[in-house]
Amino acid sequence: MAEEQNSRLRKIKSFVLRQGRLTPGQQKAFNTIWPEFGIEYQPGFLDFKTLFGNENPVILEIGFGNGDSLAEMAQQNPDTNYLGIEVHRPGVGHLLIQIEKLQLANIRIISHDAIDVLNHCIAPESLSGVQLFFPDPWHKKRHHKRRIVQPDFLDLLARSIKKDGFFHAATDWENYAEHILEIVNRHPGFVIQAPDGFIERPDSRPITKFEQRGQKLGHGVWDIMASRC
């Protein structure tokens, strides 16, 4: 049954791959910085102690965009390790530049499908938390099946996150926020932290340029925090 569920997750993509063109600086970052901070995808559980050179807690961020907020979190929390997943190469290149600029040692990057990574690279109960900020909302009803937050996805997170670890999601689509809340509430592995389901943006999540633009247009943002039980 689990194999059938994982097969479905692999077949229905939650993202559209738009590679875009790398700037000369981003290409240089791939050539010079990626070999140290990038991880080439291959099945097999990652050894975080070897990967980061320490036993600090590891937080996984799925879909970090251009990486500015992830870089800021890593800079503010040097005793926490961050593993970022992003398939958009210009975004990866931008984060690599930030890693060099800010001299960050606590970030590693995988440019691959997050479902494959969760299935094949993350050992059980090895993560202290998972962050999912502003995923593609797939707002048309016929596309809702493409939303990454589904029961099978929560199963993977529940397997990967340590007891008392967290899942933190944020979206600027109210319908998607309600969808996430419903899926998480139904899952036996998680407990929502706020009585009404949503929390104010915590200081631990930097506000992004994308979010600032949305706020100027009157868009709301919904944060959901759940604990692994």
Domains of the chain: 46-228 (3.40.50.150)
155 part of the active site: no
The reported pLDDT for the residue numbered 212 is: 83
Contact 25, 96 (CB under 8 A): no
Per-residue pLDDT tens, the chain, 229 aa: give them. 555 555 555 555 545 555 679 999 999 999 999 999 999 999 999 999 999 999 999 999 999 999 999 999 999 999 999 999 999 999 999 999 999 999 999 999 999 999 999 999 999 999 999 999 999 886 777 757 889 999 999 999 999 999 999 999 999 999 999 999 999 999 999 999 998 899 999 999 999 877 888 788 888 999 999 999 9
Alpha helices (H) in the chain, listed in sequence order: 2-11, 24-32, 34-37, 48-52, 68-76, 89-102, 114-120, 151-160, 174-186, 209-216
The CA distance from 51 to 64, in Å, is 20
Residues 84-99: tens digit of each pLDDT: 999 999 999 999 999 9
Residues 117-143: tens digit of each pLDDT: 999 999 999 999 999 999 988 677 775
Q: Is 213 left (phi over 0), alpha (psi -120 to 50) or beta?
A: alpha
- Of 153, 159, 172, nearest to 210 (Cα)? 172
Task: Choose the catalytic residue: 68, 116, 136, 155.
Answer: 136
